[in-house]
Structure 1
Amino acid sequence: MPTKIEWTEETWNPTTGCTKYSEGCEHCYAASFAKRLKAMGNARYVNGFKVTVHRDLFQKPLKWVKPRRIFVDSMSDLFHDDISDEDILAIFKTMNEASWHTFQVLTKRSGRLLELSSQINWTDNIWMGVSVENQKAIYRCEDLKQTGAKVKFISAEPLLESISDINLLGIDWLIVGGESGVKSRPMDESWVIELRDLAIKNNVPFFFKQWGGFNKKANGSELQGKYYKEYPIK
Structure 2
Amino acid sequence: MSDGSAIEWTDATVNAINGCSLASPGCTNCYAMRLAGTRMKNHPSRKGLTVDTKAGPVWNGEVRLVESALLQPLCWQRSRIIFWNAHGDTFHDAVPDEWIDLMFAVMAMTPQHKHLVLTKRSARMRAYLSDDNFRGRISDMVCAWPADRIGTGNEFIADWRLMAHHPLPNVWLGVSVEDQARADERIPDLLATPAAGRFLSCEPLLGPIDLRWIAEPDEEKDGVIDALLGCNWIDGMGWGTEFRPVRPGHEDRVMTRRVCSSEEEILAARKIDGVIVGGESGPGARPMHPAWTRSLRDQCAAAGVDFHFKQWGNIAPLQSARPVEGEGAGIVAWPDGTIGGGQSERNGGPGQQMYRAEKKIAGRLLDGVTHDALPWTRQL
Smaller-chain TM-score range?
over 0.9
Tell me how large the CA RMSD over aligned residues is. 1.4
Q: Which residue of 1 aligns with 2:43?
A: 42
Q: Distance in 1 between matches of 2:228 and 2:188?
A: 9
User: How far is 1:43 from its partner?
Assistant: 2.2
Q: List structure 1 runs of 4+ shifted beyond 3 angstroms.
A: none
CA offset digits 1:23-64 (Å, max 9, x no partner): 10010010011123434x422222234311223433221011
Q: Which residue of 1 aligns with 2:173?
A: 128
Is this contact kept in 2: 1:205–1:230, CA < 8 A?
Answer: yes
Question: Which is richer in helix?
Answer: 1
The aligned length equals 233
Higher relative contact order (CA 8 A, sep 6+): 1
CA offset digits 1:165-222 (Å, max 9, x no partner): 4531210010000011120110000000000000011100100000112522111010
Query: Match for 1:129: what amino acid?
Result: G
Query: Match for 1:231: what amino acid?
Result: L
Identical residues among aligned pairs (%): 39
Is this contact kept in 1: 2:17–2:85, CA < 8 A?
Answer: yes
* Residue 110 of structure 2 corresponds to residue 68 of structure 1: no
Q: Distance in 2 between matches of 1:57 and 1:5?
A: 18
Q: Which residue of 1 aligns with 2:301?
A: 200
Q: Distance in 1 between matches of 2:309 and 2:80?
A: 21
Q: Which residue of 2 aligns with 1:176?
A: 277
1:45 alignment partner, SS class: coil
Pairing 1:1-234 to 2, within 5 Å after superposition: 1=2, 2-39=4-41, 41-49=42-50, 50-119=62-131, 120=134, 122-138=167-183, 139-166=185-212, 167-169=227-229, 170-213=271-314, 214=356, 215-232=358-375, 233=378, 234=380
Query: Match for 1:25: what amino acid?
Result: C
| Structure with max Cα Rg | 2
1:44 alignment partner, SS class: coil
2:99 alignment partner, SS class: helix
Is this contact kept in 1: 2:176–2:201, CA < 8 A?
Answer: yes
2:34 alignment partner, SS class: helix
After TM superposition, the score normalised by the length of structure 1 is: 0.95
| Range that drifts further, 163-172 or 81-90 | 163-172
Is this contact kept in 2: 1:133–1:160, CA < 8 A?
Answer: yes
